[in-house]
């Protein structure tokens, strides 16, 4: 049986950034975020793990905030609903 354990280490600032991004998508009375399923979250974390290992394999230290920023970059396309084609934004009266 193959080992399936993967370890990610995020510092407190990275966790704060991740929490803030999740809050931006799922709180504040927003209704435009897609549900983040357990499979989608597992895929996101697998990708973050792979990118972390690739970065470290190059012998470079991880910059501060890298994990949180990368998590956010991976999160957005998974939860943000795409705008319909031809959508040009809200049309309203100028004040």
Q: What is the mean pLDDT of the chain?
A: 79
Tell me: pLDDT of 20 over 50: yes
Alpha helices in 1-95 (DSSP H): 12-26, 38-57, 66-79
Q: What is the pLDDT of residues 56-87, one digit of tens each?
A: 899 988 888 888 899 889 988 888 766 656 65
Alpha-carbon gap, residue 42 to 82, rounded angstroms: 22
Residue 88's pLDDT band (cuts 50, 70, 90): low
* Structure token digits, residue 82: 């795409």
Torsion of CA 11, 12, 13, 19, to 10 degrees: 110
Confidence of residue 95 (pLDDT cuts 50, 70, 90): very low
Specify whether the CB–CB gap between 48 and 71 falls below 8 A: yes
Beta bridge partners of 33: 80
Q: What is the pTM of this model?
A: 0.69
- The sign of the torsion formed by the CA atoms of 31, 65, 8, 44 equals positive
Tens of pLDDT, residues 24-57: 877 866 777 788 888 888 899 899 999 998 988 9
Beta-carbon contacts of 93 under 8 Å, excluding residues fewer than 6 positions away, are none
């Amino acid at each position: 049986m193959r080992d399936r354990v993967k370890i990610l280490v995020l510092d407190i600032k990275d966790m704060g950034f991740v929490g803030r991004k999740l809050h931006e998508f799922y709180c504040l009375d927003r209704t435009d975020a897609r549900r983040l399923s357990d499979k989608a979250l597992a895929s996101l974390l697998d990708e973050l793990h792979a990118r972390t290992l690739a970065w470290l394999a190059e012998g470079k230290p991880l910059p501060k905030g890298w994990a949180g920023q990368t998590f956010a970059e991976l999160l957005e396309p998974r939860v943000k609903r795409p705008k319909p084609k031809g959508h040009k934004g809200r049309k309203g009266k100028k004040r």
